[in-house]
Amino acid sequence: MQHGLETGDLALEEVWWLFLQAQENPQAELVQAFLFTPEWQQRFPDALTVFGWTRFSAWIANTYGLDRFPSGSAEISGFPEPALQVRMEYLAQAAWQRAHPDAFSSIAAARALLVWLASGAEASITPEARAWCAGLDIDAVAPELLNGGVNVIGHFCYPSGLRVSVEAMIESLRLVGIRTSLRDVRTDVRDDPRHVRFDGLESSDITIIHVQPEPFFARAYARADLAERTPRTYRIAYWYWEFDSIPQSWCTYADQVDEVWTATEFIASGLRERLSVPVRTLFPGVTLAPFQIRDRAYFKLDANRFTFLFTFHMVSVMERKNPLGLIRAFKMAFRGDESVTLVLKTSFGDRYPVQFQELCDAAADFPTIKIIDQVLSSDEVLSLMDACDAYVSLHRSEGLGLTMAEAMLMGKPVIATAFSGNMDFMNDENSLLVPYERVKVGRPIPPYDADLEWAEPSVEHAAQLMRRLYEDQQWAREIGARGKQSAEINLSLGAAGRRIAERLDEIGALRRRAPS
């Protein structure tokens, strides 16, 4: 009532609805509030366990002047599974760690911890918690104690390539049986309103911060409403960049982590040049999320025209994405009266009015170029890609090239600049590569400095490739089929998950061997 109406742009009815929900199940509402109140998490790290709930709920009643608040923990919904509760309490209890220093090193050691807790040898836990421990299925819980999993902090609600990347990583980990605790890092009011779904605490010993160094890395925990664990976890930064040289300012952020991961060797080489922490190339995997098949009429496109597509965010720097170069290539390849269309799908044009007007002006005299400036759902974006015949990216530099990978997985022939991150999965056999000259950016284009170098792709060569796809559509389908086969092998989530799991196992082994 003090802050939500104004800062959250809430209607009074929404506030009253929250009160009604809280009245129906106050314990569940308190659990939810705890999950997004870092001060409480810091003070009561074991609150959402049978070991710590009674103490936490009593403090809430006393602090906020409640006349009555049920403190029993046996029936509370919203607690983690038993193995995670035991791990969370172990992290909070120095006495447990002294008594069982290797509790999570083997099933035998995990069983010994559980038996010890159920026996009453640890006098600090309540009779209720001891009874709960005695009722555990030790044979089932002990193996689960060894699966420490990983915490992942990232942009799960920001519609972007970063969200696609972190979602792919989570799915790849799920496929190999790695437990994840997820937190969303807020960007602005245009995020999807799903923050509450990502309520995991920093319960594992390893944390992946899948957030770019600027502008949110330094405040990632605060923007996720998450307390940092003390002592802190082993931290891994997962970063993207579009050049083979990184800004000097990133070194400061790297000092806050133990190692850095990235998706391609192109990015890794630039990171290794300047960072003192280890840098590893761990591709997150790419998959096509389920999407609805939509015909071209849904996007106001002609069903009978051969259609090229390029998708990009204005936020990602239009000069780097180079749609103007693509427009020039298209005009060079085709006459205005031919049965062919170029679709440029972008978003956030209102935030960059000068660049967006430049884009519109470049396409104005060619009616077969269609610009879509709209935030579509991820389902709709994939539907649009599916509805088109070929994908073209004349980018000047890419950290990964996600849309190219997605188009290949769909079996679309892909034309792309033969430079930067996409070259980790593209070659002359599975796609159509455009030669380039390496040039300086030439002027400051935030966040890029003038002296950085990127590619200037050959507009003439791109035009030739586009023309050939249009004229020889059987050849186009063959290129698409080869790309699909290659992408399914090289970009699979299963393979990515296995590589990430191997590194997590290595980190776990190193931490267990390290002196306390």
Q: What tens digit of pLDDT does each residue of 183-230 get?
A: 999 998 778 888 999 999 999 999 999 999 999 999 999 999 999 998
Cα angle: 356, vertex 212, 258; to 5 degrees: 165
pLDDT at position 38: 96
The three state secondary structure string of 259-312 is EEEECCHHHHHHHHHHCCCCEEECCCCCCCCCCCCCCHHHHCCCCCCEEEEEEC
Average pLDDT over residues 64-73: 65
Q: Are 104 and 87 in contact (CB under 8 A)?
A: yes
- 479: Cβ contacts below 8 Å, ≥ 6 apart: 413, 414, 430, 431, 432, 469
- 350: Cβ contacts below 8 Å, ≥ 6 apart: 356
* Phi/psi at 85 (5° precision): -60, -45
Share of the chain above pLDDT 90, in %: 74
pLDDT at position 26: 84
Report the alpha-carbon distance of residue 358 to residue 324 in Å, rounded: 9
Report the alpha-carbon distance of residue 244 to residue 269 in Å, rounded: 6
pLDDT at position 515: 63
Cα angle: 289, vertex 293, 296; to 5 degrees: 125
CB count in 10 Å sphere of residue 99: 15
- 231 prior amide bond cis, ω within 30: yes
Q: 115 is written with which tokens?
A: 């038996």
What is the longest distance spanned by two Cα atoms in the chain?
Answer: 85
Residue 261 has pLDDT above 80, yes or no: yes
pLDDT at position 67: 66
Q: 494 is written with which tokens?
A: 């299963």
- 452: Cβ contacts below 8 Å, ≥ 6 apart: 243, 245, 440, 441
Average pLDDT for the chain: 92
Report the alpha-carbon distance of residue 345 to residue 314 in Å, rounded: 10
**Residue 429 pLDDT grade (very low, low, confident, very high; cuts 50, 70, 90):** very high
Residue 376 has pLDDT above 60, yes or no: yes
**Residue 17 pLDDT grade (very low, low, confident, very high; cuts 50, 70, 90):** confident
Report the alpha-carbon distance of residue 306 to residue 302 in Å, rounded: 9
Q: 300 is written with which tokens?
A: 């106001």
* Cβ burial, residue 79 (10 Å; 0-12/13-18/19+): middle
Rg (CA), the chain: 26
Query: Strand, helix or coil at 378?
Result: helix
157-173 confidence digits (pLDDT tens): 998 889 989 999 999 99
All domains of the chain in start order, with CATH: 4-79 (no CATH), 150-285+494-513 (3.40.50), 296-491 (3.40.50.2000)
Would you mind telling me the total number of residues written for the chain in this entry?
516
102-137 confidence digits (pLDDT tens): 999 899 999 999 999 998 888 788 888 999 999 999
Dihedral sign for Cα 252, 253, 255, 259, please: negative
Angle between helix 323-333 and 353-363 (nearest 10): 0
Q: Are 415 and 392 in contact (CB under 8 A)?
A: yes
Q: How far is CA 187 from the centre of its chain?
A: 13
pLDDT at position 271: 95
Question: What residue type is assigned to position 316 of the chain?
Answer: S
- 344: Cβ contacts below 8 Å, ≥ 6 apart: 310, 311, 312, 323, 326, 327, 359, 363, 369, 370, 371, 372
Report the alpha-carbon distance of residue 338 to residue 336 in Å, rounded: 6
Average pLDDT over residues 424-441: 96
pLDDT at position 1: 61
Report the alpha-carbon distance of residue 387 to residue 382 in Å, rounded: 9
* H helix or E strand, kind and range, residue 433: strand 432-434
Average pLDDT over residues 441-452: 91
| Closest by Cα among 249, 286, 235, 245 to 268 | 245
